[in-house]
A and B are shown apart, each in its own frame.
Chain A
Amino acid sequence: MRRAVFLPALLLVLVWLALAGGRNWLGPVALVQGLLDRQDFLIYGLRLPRLLIAVGAGMALGMAGALMQGLTRNPLATPDIIGLTQGAGLGFAIALLMDLPLLAGAACGSALAVVCVALLAQGRGALAFVLFGIGIGATAAAATTVLLVLAPDAKAARAMIWLSGSLARADLATAGWVWLVLLAGGALVALRAHRLGLLWLGDDVMASLGVDLSRMRILVLGLVTALTAASTLAVGPIGFVAFVAAPLARAISGAEAPAIWPAALTGACLLVAADLMARLIAPVAVFPTGLVMGVIGAPYLIFFLWRDRQEAR
């Protein structure tokens, strides 16, 4: 039981650090005063929107990763690795250049990516899902870069900052969108919690335990698409959060797979911590949070593949 409270406690500590920490450290008294004063620019103008986005997007990514890993029974098949994030990025860039609604653009992009991957990999097994996903992701990322090279400077500059996964432009409106999608997705996950607990057991066992497989796939893919799109809208295509959240959550909290809620908490912790680090490393410059996640996540991917190989022997 004690392990179960560790993640929420860690998140609370990180939330406090994120509000208090930065170029100007606030003591407990100053922090409470700032929170009580709605006019306080440092809290309400800068740190709180950034924190809300980091927590919301982190939870969304953690959940999306845990759901996708469970559905495909493959720890590698997370939205950031199989191209959903990159698809959302492409959709976002197109929407930005054409002045369309950004969330809709990101959602269409990730939905298109997941449909492409699912169609291409249909009936070819779990590995094909990952490999086609990597291909789709690379294609979408390349297309995004081409678009931005051709785009007018002002828009391209904004998109480039966003693409590197920065939270520097955080505002409360974006945070609102992220939380709206997160709460709706969370409510669906809670409603279907017992069924979703069967992810990882495979199609036959799920079907024999009363799961309508096609409805389950639509539910999970829909949730993953929406959660990925919302988080990508807010923080850009940040990698590795979705990938490491669920395995890390299981290791820390001892929760049983698919560990959707612990993964959400872990995702939030990761993103808040990475953003805090980004702000501490470069308080003035816009240091992208995505870079911090990359520095943490990329070695973990290598470690994961190495360990997986060891276990397979």
Chain B
Amino acid sequence: MMTNSLFSIENLSLRLGGRQIYDGFSGALPNGGLTGIVGPNGCGKSTLLRCLAGVQQPDSGRIVFQGGPLAGLSAVERAQSMAYLPQNPPLVPDMSVAGLVAKGRTPWRKAFRPLSDADHDAIESALLATGLSDLRATRLSALSGGQRQRVWLALALAQDTPVILLDEPTAFLDLQHQLSLLRLLRQLADERQRSIVMVLHELTLAGRFCDHLLGLRDGQLICAGPAEQVITPDTVAALYDLQAEVARDPVFQKPVVYPRE
């Protein structure tokens, strides 16, 4: 087991809705950079992220976060260490973009105090990073699905945590916005030393942007390691039952999957 891991998961078991999601799952996620969790639908990748975020309690097993047990953190301590963006953010009553993003500051706020300067700075930079500065006063109901997705990302960024967990952040986005979002996350990891863990669907995007990948299937860890080592014809077959070639793309020299079927 890695000693400098961000998360290490020991013997995790979880049953949900009569289905055994994990039966003794173990693994580790490295500190820093972008880590992608990939795998077929229903393999337990979203649930893994929920367990790491502390919003889902495992039946048994232990999650160690930065050297200490995750369960030992209070809700506020956890929220000051990691932000989590669920796959389907809830439908909320109509409010302004800035109003929703400001709620990301909750774990840092003290009772009876208005938003501090630090709060305003974090909200501004989250809005700027997600390209929402001009839409701050717009109501959520007036936004497109993709814009709304970016508002939720801005909320997670405003939380200003060293660790950010994202469940399929590129869903509902067109290709151009998928790329700009992943570039933004890359930048946060490279320039501001954030550790970002995300569930991704697209193997090609995952290979292009992630430093590290975990491949899950049926609640089992199939493969883990640097993206170039994880995306191979063997692992694609093991994860998806798919015969495929893997080659480097001509621009970035990153692995691209070419299905043979």
Is B93's CB under 8 angstroms from A210's CB? no
Q: Mark A168-209, 1 if CB is under 8 A from B, else 0.
A: 000000000000000000000011111101101111110111
Query: Are B159 and A194 closer than 8 Å at their CB atoms?
Result: no
* Residue of B54, B80, B92 touching A257 (CB-CB under 8 A): B92
Chain A contacts for B179, CB-based, 8 A: none
Q: Which of A195, A198, A202, A210 contacts B78 (CB 8 A)?
A: A210
Count of B residues near A, CB < 8 Å? Answer: 30
Give the size range of A's interface with the partner: 20 to 34
B250 lies within 8 A of chain A by Cβ: no
Chain B 173-191 interface residues, beta-carbon cutoff 8 Å to A:
none
Contact of B111 among A191, A209, A256 (CB under 8 A): A191
B81-93 interface code vs A (CB 8 A; 1 in, 0 out): 0111110011011
A211: CB under 8 A from chain B? yes
Say whether A40 faces chain B, with CB atoms less than 8 Å apart: no
Interface segment, B5-13, B100-108, B202-210?
B100-108
Residue in B92, B112, B159 whose CB lies within 8 Å of A209: B159
Would A208 and B53 be within 8 Å (CB), given that A190-B112, A191-B112, A200-B92 are in contact?
Answer: yes
Contact A195 B106 (CB under 8 A): yes
Against A, the Cβ 8 Å flags (1 = close, 0 = not) of B63-87 are: 0000000000011101110111110
Bound form: Cα–Cα A205–B53 in Å: 10
Beta-carbon nearest neighbor of A209 in chain B: B106
A247 (CB) vs chain B CBs: closest residue: B93
The chain B residue sitting closest to A208, CB to CB, is B84
- Residues in B neighbouring A198, C-beta threshold 8 A: 103, 106
Q: In the docked arrangement, what's the CA distance between A90 and B109, Å?
A: 41
Interface digits, A198-229 against B, CB 8 Å rule (1 contact, 0 not)? 10111111011111100000000000000000
Q: Which residue of A lies closest to B165 (CB)?
A: A208
Q: How far is the CA of A209 from the CA of B83 in the complex (A)?
A: 7
Distance between A204 CB and nearest chain B CB, rounded to angstroms: 5
Is there contact, CB below 8 Å, between B95 and A73? no
A200 to B86, CA, bound (A): 15
Chain A residues whose CB sits within 8 angstroms of the CB of B75 once the complex forms: 207, 210-212
Q: Which residues of chain B are near A190, meaning CB under 8 Å?
A: 111-112
**Inter-chain contacts of B104 with A (CB < 8 A):** 209
| Residues of B participating in the A interface, judged by any CB pair closer than 8 Å | 50, 53-55, 74-76, 78-80, 82-86, 89-90, 92-93, 95-96, 99, 103-104, 106-107, 109, 111-112, 159
Binding site for B on A (CB under 8 A): 73, 190-195, 197-198, 200-205, 207-212, 250, 256-257
What are 18 A-B contacts with C-beta separation under 8 Å?
Answer: A73-B90, A194-B109, A197-B103, A198-B103, A198-B106, A201-B90, A201-B92, A207-B54, A207-B55, A208-B53, A208-B54, A208-B83, A208-B86, A209-B103, A212-B74, A212-B75, A256-B93, A257-B93
> Given contacts A190-B112, A198-B103, A256-B99, could you give 7 more A-B pairs where the C-beta distance is less than 8 Å?
A191-B111, A194-B111, A200-B92, A208-B55, A208-B83, A250-B93, A257-B95
